């Protein structure tokens, strides 16, 4: 089948990769393949540390469990190594009230079979003497993980190239539909036609698809000089180890598509990180990166399956986590006509109720 994907973030490229690997002829149209937030994402795979519940939790756990095979296949095709770890995330609490609330969720997760360990303040000091005296305690969510989003995106581009996926640089301005089918899409440079269309347009979805998706600006710091065993996640900062550097994130700003790195953002991230890990004051500062998360009113993604198209947008702060399951959902629909229950659960129709 001739398939056209609009958008080149992690969701778009992973879908292109899976469809091309399955033998389809795939093209990608994107305004700028390095513009999306996937390139600046922290890469945490943290459904439990994030405190997710209900449909979002089950969706996230399904994707988390797909990750090892997804990474393995991508590394084989791209012929490169991707930093990927599932050695747990340390969810640090800063006061008694927060510890009690995270503990309540942790016990619910544990009843569902999730590996979790509660760590009190005394034990935390013993195990992590490099932390400041401010944290109240912690929970180790043993099944969570961390992937290098930059390496992931590099591998997706290489994997797609090796599978013959062609990328067109163009900005799509119009979707032509007739009787519920997409007839073509128009860009500034060309008009594109295919047998099937996949829309993964991220934070830029509102104007094209008329859906309630909006940009949430995020700034994240890149430093090096300290090695950490696993992610330190707290409400004042999260510190994410990669192969040769650390990420410190992230701001969450209602600032539209303002791409400026700001001193205020750097200060907020720096102050939070130093409160957690004082020795970061001596690390080398490598820079600050800015991205735009595709937010939705309820922070859940938006799916729509049409006769010859699929919309998959609004992945907000968990786009990297939800990458494998989103691509798998689209692949199943294209190949077998199977409609995941999440398509209905995360339909845009939920915003029209009431």
* pLDDT tens by residue, 217-246: 999 999 999 999 999 999 999 999 999 999
Q: Are residues 179 and 268 in the same domain?
A: no
Q: Are residues 101 and 243 in the same domain?
A: no
Q: Are residues 205 and 314 in the same domain?
A: yes
Q: Are residues 178 and 205 in the same domain?
A: yes
Q: Are residues 327 and 189 in the same domain?
A: yes
Q: Are residues 60 and 159 in the same domain?
A: yes
List residues bridging with 347 in a β-sheet: 303
* Residue 326 maps to a domain: yes
Q: Are residues 8 and 18 in the same domain?
A: yes
Q: Are residues 189 and 155 in the same domain?
A: yes
Residue 317 per-residue DSSP state: G
Q: Are 9 and 152 within 8 A, CB to CB?
A: no
- Residue-wise pLDDT for 239-294, tens only, equals 999 999 999 999 999 999 999 999 999 999 999 999 999 999 999 999 999 999 99
Q: Are residues 315 and 350 in the same domain?
A: yes
> Which stretch of DSSP H or E encloses residue 44?
strand 44-45
* Residue 84 maps to a domain: no
Radius of gyration of the chain (CA): 20
Q: Are residues 150 and 129 in the same domain?
A: no
pLDDT above 80: residue 22: yes
Q: Are residues 303 and 195 in the same domain?
A: yes
CATH of the domain at 289: 3.30.9.10
* Residue 22 maps to a domain: yes
* Residue 177 maps to a domain: yes
Q: Are residues 115 and 161 in the same domain?
A: no
Domain boundaries, position 194: 1-78+145-213+296-354
Q: Are 229 and 87 within 8 A, CB to CB?
A: yes
Domain tally, the chain: 3
Distance from chain centroid for Cα 247: 15
| φ/ψ of residue 137, rounded to 5 | 180, -165
Mean pLDDT (whole number) for 324-333: 98
């Amino acid at each position: 089948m001739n398939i056209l994907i609009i958008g080149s973030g992690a969701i778009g490229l992973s879908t292109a990769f899976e469809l091309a690997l399955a033998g389809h002829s795939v093209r990608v149209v994107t305004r700028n393949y390095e513009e999306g937030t996937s390139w600046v994402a922290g890469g945490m795979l943290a459904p439990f540390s994030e405190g997710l519940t209900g449909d979002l939790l089950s969706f996230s756990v399904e994707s988390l469990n797909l990750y090892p095979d997804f990474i393995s296949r991508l590394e084989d095709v791209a012929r490169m190594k991707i930093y990927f770890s599932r050695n747990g995330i340390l969810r640090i609490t800063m006061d008694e009230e927060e510890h009690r609330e995270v503990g309540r969720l942790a016990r619910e997760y544990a009843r569902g079979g999730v590996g979790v360990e509660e760590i009190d303040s005394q034990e935390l000091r013993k195990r992590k003497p490099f932390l400041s005296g401010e944290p109240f305690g912690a929970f180790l969510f043993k099944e969570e993980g961390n992937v290098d989003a930059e390496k992931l995106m590099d591998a997706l581009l290489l994997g797609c190239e090796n599978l013959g996926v062609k990328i067109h640089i163009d900005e799509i301005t119009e979707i032509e539909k007739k009787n519920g089918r997409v007839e073509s899409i128009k860009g500034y440079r060309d008009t594109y036609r295919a047998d099937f269309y996949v829309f993964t347009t991220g934070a830029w979805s509102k104007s094209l698809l008329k859906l309630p998706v909006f940009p949430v600006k995020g700034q994240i710091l890149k430093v090096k000089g300290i090695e950490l065993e696993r992610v330190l996640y707290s409400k004042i900062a999260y510190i994410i180890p990669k192969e040769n550097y650390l990420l410190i994130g992230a701001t969450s700003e209602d600032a539209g598509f303002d791409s400026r790195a700001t001193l205020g953002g750097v200060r907020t991230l720096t102050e939070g990180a130093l409160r957690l890990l004082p020795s970061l004051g001596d690390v080398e500062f490598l820079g600050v990166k800015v991205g735009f998360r595709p937010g939705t009113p309820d922070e859940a993604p938006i799916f729509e399956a049409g006769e010859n198209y699929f919309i998959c947008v609004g992945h907000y702060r968990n786009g990297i986590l939800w990458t494998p399951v989103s691509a798998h959902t689209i692949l199943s629909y294209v190949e077998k006509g199977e409609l995941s229950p999440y398509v209905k659960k995360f339909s845009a129709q939920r915003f029209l109720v009431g």
